[in-house]
């Protein structure tokens, strides 16, 4: 039975590595096109998209690191989600600052950033209390 659990762990690690790597490559390609197509001039929507994509790189890279090096320390991914939520929140606030009026997308992504950060912090607190 030891072989089965070891095989399951290896399969889980490879799956995490594959999805994290694929998401990192896809995110980097989209970020490249957002920055290249704007040719240096990024409007408010491009700024929000850039913040979301840059923030998304952190959980993707954390997934790669966890699956390759730190499998026992899965909290690295949770810490990267805290950072992702904070970056989305900051990008949404900056997006709203660039606009002359309030937009629903800025408020929506600010709420998403707060919720992601709150859930990740709550998970860290629960894991430390156990």
Q: How many domains does the chain have?
A: 1
Closest alpha carbon to 87 in 60, 63, 124: 60
Each residue's pLDDT expressed in tens, for the chain with a length of 130 residues: 445 567 777 787 788 788 888 888 888 888 788 777 767 677 777 777 778 888 878 788 888 887 777 777 777 778 888 888 888 888 888 888 888 777 788 888 889 889 989 988 888 888 777 7
Structural domain that includes position 42: 2-129
User: Measured at the alpha carbon of residue 17, what is the angle toward residues 3 and 120, in degrees to the nearest 5?
Assistant: 105
Could you tell me the CA-to-CA distances from 81 to 58, 103, 113, 115 in Å, in that order?
8, 25, 10, 11
């Amino acid at each position: 039975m030891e072989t089965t659990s070891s095989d399951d762990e290896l399969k889980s690690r490879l799956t995490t590595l594959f999805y994290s790597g694929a998401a990192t490559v896809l995110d980097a390609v989209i970020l490249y096109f957002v920055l290249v197509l704007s040719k240096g001039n990024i409007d408010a929507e491009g700024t929000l998209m850039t913040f979301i994509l840059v923030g998304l790189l952190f959980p993707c890279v954390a997934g790669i690191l966890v699956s390759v090096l730190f499998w026992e320390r899965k909290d690295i991914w949770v810490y990267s989600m805290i950072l992702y939520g904070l970056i989305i929140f900051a990008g949404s606030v900056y997006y709203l600052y660039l606009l002359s009026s309030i937009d629903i997308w800025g408020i929506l992504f600010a709420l998403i950033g707060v919720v992601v950060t709150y859930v990740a912090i709550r998970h860290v607190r629960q894991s430390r209390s156990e």
